Structure 1
Amino acid sequence: MGGTGKLLLSRLARAQALGRVPSVAGCALVEGRTAWTGVRGRVGGGSPTLDTQYRIGSLTKSFTAVLVMRLRDRGELRTNDPLDRYLPGTGIGDRTLEQLLSHTAGLTTMTPGCDWPYSGQGPAEPLRRGAGVLCAAGERFHYSNVGYALLGAVIERVRQEPWADVLAREVLAPLGMRGTGTDPGAEAAPGWSVHPWAPTLVAEEVQDARAMAAAGALWSTPADLARWAEFLLGDCAEVLHPDTLAEMAEPTRLSAHEDEPGAGFGLGLQAVRHQGRTLIGHPGGIPGFLATIWVDRERRTGAVIVGNASTGLSPSRALELLDIVGEQTLPLPDEWAPQNLPPHLLDLTGYWYQGPRPHAIQMEADGSVLLQPVSTRTKPSRFRAPASRFGTTPQGGLTGLDGAYVGEELRVLRDQDGRPAALELTGARFTRVPGPVPSTPALSPEVSG
């Protein structure tokens, strides 16, 4: 990617050095495909590679969610079913699978007896005793590892085999993700905790997550995570229908508080607003490792970052890579060309004053008129000419399209020579010169022809 590749590598190098992460790997996607990869730091005696395995923590949840939706589309389960249909006796049997997927089932992050990530006891027994229940279903968003552990158990009950085996066959194998699974290979990166006050490392112990595996136990490689990002951008390889993927990316609305955005979570995918764009993906963190994927489905770009430290590699690092790609792949604006504009609107342009307060009117290429205060933060308002698709107002003025005056009428008053001399808007009058507005009987409203 030429200079863009150098900039991406520079940003990755800064993330590794400033975050004090023993090793990091990053990938950038353009037009839905991996266009750049980079690595920094050391694993063992050499540099990490695109096939080095890292633990990806809660990014696992996006895989579990895709598997649930695949089984739904195949008719093996229904996401609007209550949990009791598949796992009787949990104590929260009225919660639906969809609420578990979207973290709106009212469950705590963990339950007593589950020392994440070293969980021996599963979540079901504490739930039977009432522990782990935070609130009524649908009342609020609350991120819950327990919910995804239960989804893993649902998959195992439906298929009568381990969650990891079903995931490998139904999702990982069709996508060619051979380096992803619950068991790390001999060359996997070790997980480290970096001393907060000294440049030394303390090894993080890796143990079997067991009952909580579906919430955060996967290992993966930079190459496989780039493939997962391609999947999220639409290359589904028949694992999931594109419409189902779009459904997962839509943030859930909470039933009890419709004014809340559902904390930006869809069905297993997090949705975030960044610089006016909507991104989807998921961060992941587990002792010794951090990972993040963000993709822009509209621009078909994406970024992956992964490292082997408990701290120092926030999800914003992936956003930085995505921003660089976004700057280099911005669509070209339409070429500017002069327009033939109606003279009766053209002579409205320029400065106008509401008493001493200056405003300006300018015309845009689509024939709309932009009225905005000068040197203020007030949002401009657009007005459409009467002859446009919005039609005329009864008084022959202009109709507000957006901003502070949406739906309001802007009336043009002309003098005896037909020149615009004043504007009227919601009881206020604008004139060509600042100061008090004189009473001018000679002015007459413009009438649409």
Structure 2
Amino acid sequence: GGTDFAPRTTVEGEPVQEYLQRHYFQAFQQLALRLKNQPNVLGYDTMNEPSCGYIGWQDLNTPGGLLAIGDVPTPFQSMLLGEGIPQDVEEWVLGVASFKRLGTHRMNDSRTRAWRDGFECIWRQNGVWDFDNSGAAQLLRSDYFARVNGKPVDFSRDYYRPFANRFAAAIQAVHPNALIFLETAQDNPISKWGNEDASGIVYAPHWYDAYVLVKKTFIPILGIDNFARKLVVGHPAIRRSYHRQLAMLKGYAENQLGSVPFVLGEFGIPFDLDGKKAYKNGDFSTQVSALQRSMQAVEDNLLNYTLWNYTPDNSNLHGDLWNDEDLSIYSPDQRANLRDINSGGRALQAVVRPYPVATAGKLLKANFNPRTRVFKMELLHDPLIAAPTEIYVPNYQYPHGYSIRVSDGRYEIHHSKQRLLYWPDPAKIVHKLTVKP
């Protein structure tokens, strides 16, 4: 958006948007040149959680954003704070059941500027605000980022889409078969994709159980609708809400992008819940329940997913070593037995679970309950496929073996490979399979 919103800002004489994007694409090209022959590299994500920033903001005097937590300045206040002008800023917290405004407090009494000496705020430079004759700061255009040439803007359509197309062209110029993973912020759905846009794309948005992520606690009857930004109360309502939220994201891949593949690019939970209580008593049952709630929503929608994250140098003290996050499913601080491959794992009862590796037809259902260790699956078999349906059944969950119940057909158990092979009866339409300890 620099061309539209910061046209007076240049770097070494080049418009700031072109300067930044050109360097960004060229850096990724160098990465692709080095990785393109690696068999396990499928493709490249355009950017981690691209944010619209101020683009589309209707009133710069109004606070906003996905979650109002902590210091919540308006965009105009943020600009003035960066200029070294103290501001009385609203402070918000997420209570047990709602967002609450605590009041206001003074910020930047030290009058520290964000800009180098000799440089002014780029938004003042581009006419968003200025000082009046009395020296007071005034906002010149409250809707500066909401309209261009009199027309309303859409971040995904007008800015992310052209950016993603340029990214795809740069990557596929050096790695032709690479997939391009797209994602946008939850409050900015992906825009419509057409024949003129890049091919070989995958939709890979992120989603989190926001209540657990932000509060770092798990209350089974409380959740958040990330799209409506409202509290959800009760087990049935939470399950319906989380199913609906992920179904909405999955629907974008089909309706906006032309039925492209979908993968949930990130989800998970913080493990330092309740003041890191589990690190003191070794009881991760709360984390198992919290992660299962997200896993259930993923399985209800039959999604491919990437669980965030695995950090080999995680620690109980410093977490994932970034931004006070502690979402790693492994930590050396939990590793008690060097001979046990699972030692160091966190909440593995919810992480390590059965799932269909390859389905000989259409998958209708696949759910696992870590409390009972029961896995249930349903599918429509494709009679043109002779190969069996292949299911990963981890020995971690079934160290003493397991029993199988099928609606029809036959199966084979391969404990050493942690695989279950299933051949349905072609005379039947819907096939069911259950794994129990």
Scaled to the shorter chain, the TM-score interval is: under 0.3
- The TM-score with structure 1 as length reference comes to 0.26
Max Rg structure: 1
In the superposition, the TM-score normalised over structure 2's length comes to: 0.27
